[in-house]
Chains A and B, each alone.
Chain A
Amino acid sequence: MPIPVSVITGFLGSGKTTLLSRLLRHPEFSETAVIVNEFGEVGLDHFLVEASEDSIVELGTGCLCCTIRDDLALTLGDLLARRERGEIPQFRRVVIETSGLADPAPILHVLMADAALAERLSLDTVVTTVDAVNGLGTLEEHVEAVKQVAVADTLLITKCDLAAAEAAGVEARLRTLNPAAEIHTVVRGDLAPGRLFGRTGYSIASRPIDIGRWLEEERRQRSTIHDHKGHGHDVNRHDGRIRAFCIEREKPVSAVAFSLFLETLAEHCGPDLLRVKGIVEIAESPGRPAVIHGVQHVFHPPEWLDAWPGQDRKTRFVFITRDIPEQWVATLLDLLDGEARETSARLARSSPNKRQEKPLER
């Protein structure tokens, strides 16, 4: 009996990781192997998703649909081999979380056309998250987002609590792109797994957009690549203006600077700030890092962890942006932090008896 494989996709910041984190807390979702893919130099999702480390595989740095898609087949094959050897728990289901920029066609092609995998794995369902706040704009600007919607069995409209009025327009647009899909609204990923998984198998029939043609194009492209280069790694297929970068800081960031940093990014970058994730050591709250998620000008409230999830305690911000220089972001953070420390020190000097707090260390 082939093991069902489900794909969770959706554009940057649309709530995939939140959904997956919630699903993994359900008992009925146990015995699931998870493959997480992120677009960027440094992945964060793998330790923000709460689950047994054995069951989560972080799939390199790069995007599943382009630079590392052959790794998907290898990773799946390796998971199966380790399962058979008893090195990892006997999972009954595999879930793949794609990067937010992933074109789903190559991923589905691997799952549907790889002969070695087809005997042991079967594509069960594709779930796509769409953000009610930014969804319509994203579908206008990014063809990957349209493809993600078109291939879905189930569409989840997320962040409806932030944009209840916009949700109806998003749903109408989704129905034109994929009338056969089930559509649910969801807040903070709260949905029972039974509503998403356990179908009879994925089918590309009865969809208004010609997914079969996409897959055929994918097959031809892959055979061309293999004929001419001998391997499956092609150039990155995303908009060349979109870049991922990571900013790390050894020293804690002051709370004021952190707040001004987010405000300034939102004010000046807006729609070009495709995604921000971060784990931040705040100077005023040592040892309790703040986790942030943002899309364009909308950020979740910081989530405060009780401790760092690993040995590496550096502050890390992962950005996926369009036309925003990395150096600008890094310099902005440094200048804001310098100013906040300067102000703190000056206030302490000017009112040493009134203010008990110490100036921030530099």
Chain B
Amino acid sequence: MTLAEPDVEALQRLLEGSLVVWRLDGTTEAVAAEPPTVLIRTSRGPRLRVVWRREPNLPPCWEVSRAETSEGGDEAAPLLPRRYAAVPGMLRGVRAALDPDAPGGRLIIGAG
């Protein structure tokens, strides 16, 4: 275990909760602990695989890909696979693949 390697249970909790937050019907499945890998199935989006990867001489990253390329149309999630440096990008990528029309919020810092 390296300094900040996420465990697969944490990854699954994050993605399971993300489906709730995004109001998407779906399930998650932890399929491997090393590297941490979770599958996401939703009723309408593609089936996705999310993996936390650490490779020699490279910063660790999150990889989001289609779990089974034979499923669904090719037009679904056309930008996959993608790699993301951190959790915020990974979540944004997963959401964009599952629900391309989802509204995105933006943090506003202001006085009041």
Interface residues of B in 57-112 (CB under 8 A from A): 59-60, 86-88, 91-92, 95, 103-112
Check A300 against B110 for contact (C-beta < 8 Å). yes
B107→A297 contact, CB < 8 A: yes
Contacts known (A158-B112, A328-B20); A339 close to B4, Cβ less than 8 A: yes
Chain B interface category by residue count = 20 to 34
Contact A161 B20 (CB under 8 A): no
Q: Is the CB of A301 within 8 A of B109?
A: yes
Q: Is B13 part of the binding interface, using a Cβ–Cβ cutoff of 8 Å? A: yes
Number of residues on chain A facing chain B (CB within 8 A): 45
Cα A93 to Cα B106 with chains together (Å): 42
Residues of B within 8 A of A331 (CB): 10, 13-14, 17
Query: Which residue of B2, B14, B109 is within 8 Å of A335 (Cβ)?
Result: B14
Q: Given contacts A336-B87, A338-B4, is CB(A267)–CB(B105) below 8 Å?
A: yes
- A contact residues around B59 at 8 Å (CB): 343, 346
User: Taking the complex as formed, is A196 at the interface, i.e. its CB lies under 8 A from any CB of chain B?
Assistant: no
Interface contact B107-A299, CB-CB below 8 Å: yes
A298 CA to B109 CA in the complex, in Å? 6
The reply to whether the CB of A342 lies closer than 8 angstroms to some CB of chain B is yes
B92 (CB) vs chain A CBs: closest residue = A267
Query: By the criterion CB–CB under 8 Å, are B110 and A187 in contact?
Result: no
Nearest A residue to B13, CB-CB? A331
Partner of B110, one of A162, A262, A267: A162
A328 to B109, CA, bound (A): 23
Within 8 Å CB of A270, what residues of B?
103, 105
| B10 proximity list for chain A (CB < 8 A) | 331, 334-335
Taking a contact as CB atoms under 8 Å apart, the answer to whether A263 and B107 are in contact is yes
User: Taking the complex as formed, is A177 at the interface, i.e. its CB lies under 8 A from any CB of chain B?
Assistant: no
Q: Which residues of B contact A131 (CB under 8 A)?
A: 112
A272 within 8 A of B: yes
Residues of chain A contacted by B112 (CB below 8 angstroms): 15, 18, 131, 133, 158-159, 161-162, 187-188, 298, 300
**Which A-chain residue is minimally distant from B107 (CB atoms)?**
A266
Which residues in B have their C-beta under 8 angstroms from that of A187?
A: 111-112
How far does the Cβ of B51 sit from chain A's closest Cβ, in whole Å? 14
CB pair A268 B18 closer than 8 Å:
yes
Contact B22 A267 (CB under 8 A): no
Q: Mark B9-29 against chain A: 1 for CB-CB distance below 8 A, else 0.
A: 011011011101111000000
Partner of A264, one of B16, B88, B110: B88
Lowest 3 CB-CB distances: which A-B pairs, in order? A328-B17, A342-B4, A159-B112
Q: Interface on A for B, CB 8 Å cutoff?
A: 15, 18, 131, 133, 158-159, 161-162, 187-188, 260, 262-264, 266-270, 272, 296-301, 323-325, 327-329, 331-332, 334-336, 338-339, 341-343, 345-346, 362
Beyond the given A161-B112, A187-B111, A297-B106, please list 8 additional residue pairs across the A-B interface where CB-CB is below 8 A: A266-B106, A267-B105, A270-B103, A298-B108, A299-B110, A332-B17, A345-B4, A362-B3
